[in-house]
Amino acid sequence: MADSDRSRLSVALVDVADGRVAAFLALARDFEAMLVRKGYGTAEMIRDEAQPLRFYAVRHWTDAASAQACHADADVQALTARLFQIARVTQVVNGVGRQEPRRLLLDNQRSAVEADRRTGFDRRVKDVGRPAGNRRASKDRRLGPRRLRDRPGEVDLVGAARRARENADAAFSQFKVGAALEAADGTVFTGCNIENASYGLTICAERVAIYKALSEGHRVFTRVAIVADTASPTPPCGACRQVLWEFGGNLEIQLANLTEERGKHRLKDLFPHPFDARLL
């Protein structure tokens, strides 16, 4: 099927956050118009009559190459990033995608709809509370496909950065750092600092994360979380700010330590006079 040029069909299940339907429908119209304008295909949005916050996004691709070009399109990725802030998207039918078992977090959880009680926002209708000391109360539990669906568009980016920090190789400084970078399609790439006996070859966690993302073909990013075991926030170094700006623009920067978040910033505030292609 991957070698065929016949028209392809993709279907996604979209659960919209309460109160955000109007914003979602506006995004859907923009997406449909963009698909036609760029020759990728056509799209339509079908509302579930039984569940007013649920929609089915049906995309008819011109061919497999058009679908792949659409997924790599920066304009499309920007729209997708806005969508993931107000809705949870679960891929149901994908007639053009290739299997990539190493894709992280959201790609895995969107690959199929689970036919069990965990699917959907309505697992619990009423909050009955939890006993004190219940292990489920921890914010730093490992992210699995089910937990990523707790709220639309929400990923525990700080938790991912904390876990990445555990893999740091900081034999010389003993200063371990973890980073987690979110791409526009919701995929999360993590990194940790890797030190070298030739100190100049050491690389920071932030650059590890963004280079991993770039090597996988991602070019649009929304935010990055950085974690270190310090009482005060540990912002990215100058080199990392330059690289993050070069490939991510005015990202949201989340700073945290091992127990709590320590602030959010825009990269422009931390890097007010960047050097970029505009100066060349």
Q: Indicate the residue among 98, 122, 139 that finishes a domain.
A: 98
Of 78, 98, 118, which residue constitutes the final position of a domain? 98
- Name the 3-class secondary structure at 145: coil
Residue pair 55/46 in contact by the 8 Å Cβ criterion: yes
What are 264's strand-pairing partners?
254
Cα R_g (the chain), whole angstroms: 20
Token pair for residue 180?
């987690």
Please state the pTM of the whole predicted model.
0.51
pLDDT of residue 186: 86
- Considering 49, 182, 206, 261, which one is annotated as catalytic? 206
Residue 26 lies in a domain: yes
Q: Are residues 238 and 161 in the same domain?
A: yes
Q: 223 phi and psi, to 5 degrees?
A: -165, 160
For 192-247, the pLDDT digits (tens) are: 999 999 999 999 999 999 999 999 899 899 999 999 999 988 999 999 999 999 99
Beta carbons of 51 and 121 less than 8 angstroms apart: no
> What dihedral do alpha carbons 77, 78, 84, 87 form, nearest 10°?
-100
Report how many domains make up the chain.
2
Strand order in the sheet with 87-94: 41-47, 54-61, 8-16, 87-94
**16 Cβ contact partners less than 8 Å away, ≥ 6 residues apart:** 24, 53, 54, 55, 86, 87, 152
Here the CATH number for the domain that contains residue 94 is: 3.30.70.100
Runs of H (alpha helix) within 5-154: 21-37, 64-72, 74-84, 106-109
Q: What would the pLDDT profile of 105-128 be if each residue is shown by its tens digit?
A: 444 433 333 333 333 334 344 454
| Nearest partner of 38 among 56, 14, 18, 62, judged by Cα | 62
Indicate whether 190 and 255 sit together in one domain: yes
Amino acid 197: pLDDT: 94
Question: For residue 210, what are the domain limits?
Answer: 155-279
CATH of the domain at 214: 3.40.140.10
User: Is 206 one of the annotated active-site residues of the chain?
Assistant: yes
Q: What is the mean pLDDT of each run of 10 residues along the chain (280 residues)?
A: 56 87 92 92 90 90 85 84 81 56 40 37 45 49 40 74 95 95 91 95 97 92 95 93 94 95 94 85
Q: Is residue 112 part of a domain?
A: no
Instruction: Give the model's pLDDT for residue 154.
Output: 63
Give a yes or no: residue 130 inside a domain: no
